[in-house]
Copies of this chain bind each other. A is one copy, B any other.
Amino acid sequence: MKAEILCVGTEILLGDIVNTNAQFLSRELANLGIDVYHQSVVGDNPKRLLEEIKDCFKKVDMIITSGGLGPTPDDLTKEIGAKFFNKKMILDEDTVNKLKDYFDKMGRSYLKGNNMKQAYFPENCIILKNDYGTAPGCIINENGKILIVLPGPPREIKPMFSNYVLPFLNNYTNGTIKSRVLRIHGIGEGEMAEKIKDLIDNSKNPTIAPYAKDNDITLRITARAATEDEALNLIKPLEYKVKAVLGDNIYGYGDTSMEEVTAKLLIDKNLSISTAESCTGGLIAAKLISYPGISSIFLDGAVTYSNAAKMHRLNVKKETLDKFGAVSEETAREMAEGIAKTSGTDIGLSTTGIAGPDGGTPEKPIGLVYVGLYINGKTFVKRLQISGERNRVRNRASVSALDFLRRKLI
């Protein structure tokens, strides 16, 4: 089965929003072994939308759309889908009742005007419940063509897909594509590609593909097979070979993040942590706290942006700041030790650096960041030099600080 992902919305063509739905749907279809040949985006324009649906159905068997289901007048995807299949639009009483309940619960009394539009569907379609919003989706399945119409908001489309579209699609999959994603930090993309060049060049099934993301590099090993187990068995030997080359630079697998990996390590080892951040300004704490269950080991964090706060909160010595400066190995060391001591934690993790756009000097250029790590009575400091603008420096510094901790924990 070949599929096209068709996102609808002038706001996407104008660049107002990032199309995360295309990513979500692509990943889900890949997991099902359904080939996504193409992603495309058209505006909220009935004529062009109809043309696109016609064109796509010449090439693929299935189109999944997102967007254009809302209450505003330019939301037209259902209507155009009905037109393509020559269907009338019919009022669905169940949906009317759910809309009434929803607006009652929200304390808004009206069910009028545009909101009613969301209760009309192409006749004989499968209606897909929207558990997180007011606009249900639908599936039209006729003459070997399947049109799956889903809402635009990410927090609506994801549960609708998982709960109602997946069971439907399971009837249409034949074989599977499985992937194993290796997440990498601490080595450049080019250097890595060179190191595993032979593996990349000589692998057909599975294939291996590197790509760089904002804060790390990912390697995806992808196998196609009749069953999931067969695919996974194809992946394993290649994964071992990659691991032999890249070692500890591989920090995790699949849909994880440096903060999740580090948080899990801390929880497993039952090591409590506190953070003292200057240039990263709360990003390390925010990242760690994004992980549920962190409250057992994350006790305290300080965002000591001013020198006064560094002295007052962390007992960094005035002489240290005067002699070496706020951005120095010595200050990073005292910050890490200070936060661990004043919080009573096993670990103290600190950052101090120059994120820019101002404040750089020839000796201490923009992008210079020191990471301090106090752990079990010892303190380590790592010097980073990060290129790019302010928030890239801050983000990379926070991920690299967590990576520094991770490597000490494993």
B301 and A306 contact, CB distance less than 8 A: no
The answer to whether A39 and B12 have CB atoms under 8 Å apart is yes
Min CB distance A273 to B, Å, is 10
Q: A394 touching B209 by the CB < 8 A rule?
A: no
B15 touches A23 (CB 8 A): yes
Q: A14-B220, A74-B209 in contact; A114/B300 too (CB < 8 A)?
A: no
Inter-chain contacts of A169 with B (CB < 8 A): none
Chain B nearest CB, measured from A193 CB (Å): 5
> CB of A83 within 8 A of chain B?
no
State A28–B108 Cα separation when bound (angstroms).
39
**Which stretch in A139-147, A241-249, A286-294 binds the other chain?**
A286-294
Q: Is A365 an interface residue (CB 8 A)?
A: no
Q: Does any Cβ of B come within 8 Å of A325's Cβ?
A: no
A residues 42-93 with Cβ under 8 Å of B?
42, 44, 48, 52, 70-74
Known A-B contacts A16-B218, A40-B39; A302 and B299 likewise in contact (beta carbons under 8 Å) = no
Q: A106-134 interface mask toward B, CB cutoff 8 Å, 1 = contact, 0 = none?
A: 10101001110000000000000000101
For the complex, count residues of A whose C-beta is within 8 A of B: 108
A106 to B23, CA, bound (A): 33
Chain A interface SS verdict (over half): mixed
Q: Are A301 and B290 in contact (CB under 8 A)?
A: no
With both beta carbons as reference points, the residue of chain B lying nearest to A29 in the complex is identified as B15
Inter-chain CA distance A73–B301, complex, in Å, is 45
The answer for the CA separation of A201 and B74 in the assembled complex, in Å, is 9
User: Would you give the shortest CB distance from A132 to chain B, in whole angstroms?
Assistant: 8
Q: Write the nearest CB–CB distance from A39 to chain B, whole angstroms.
A: 4
Q: How far is the CA of A47 from the CA of B181 in the complex (A)?
A: 26
Question: Are A13 and B40 neighbours in the complex by a CB distance under 8 Å?
Answer: no
Judge whether A281 and B292 touch: CB under 8 Å: no
The count of identical subunits is 2
- Cβ-based interface call for A303 (8 A): yes
Task: Please encode chain A, from 306 to 337, with 1 for each CB lying within 8 Å of some chain B CB and 0 for all others.
Answer: 10110011000000000000000000000000
Instruction: List the B residue with the shortest CB-CB distance to A72.
Output: B193
Given A38-B40, A220-B14, A282-B283, A305-B299 contact (CB < 8 Å): yes
- By the criterion CB–CB under 8 Å, are A113 and B197 in contact? yes
Among A367-375, A385-393, A400-408, which stretch is in contact with chain B?
A: A385-393
Q: Are A197 and B114 in touch, CB under 8 angstroms?
A: yes
A303 touches B301 (CB 8 A): yes
Q: Are A286 and B289 also in contact (CB < 8 A) when A38-B40, A300-B304, A300-B305 are?
A: no
Subset of 5 A-B contacts with CB under 8 Å: A14-B26, A15-B27, A74-B209, A282-B289, A299-B305
Pairs A-B, 7 closest by C-beta atoms = A15-B27, A301-B303, A281-B289, A282-B282, A282-B285, A15-B26, A282-B286
Residues of A within 8 A of B (CB): 9-20, 22-30, 36-42, 44, 48, 52, 70-74, 106, 108, 110, 113-115, 132, 134, 153-155, 179, 181, 188-191, 193-194, 197, 200-201, 209-214, 218, 220, 222, 275, 277, 280-286, 288-290, 292-295, 298-306, 308-309, 312-313, 342-344, 356-358, 387-388, 390-392, 394
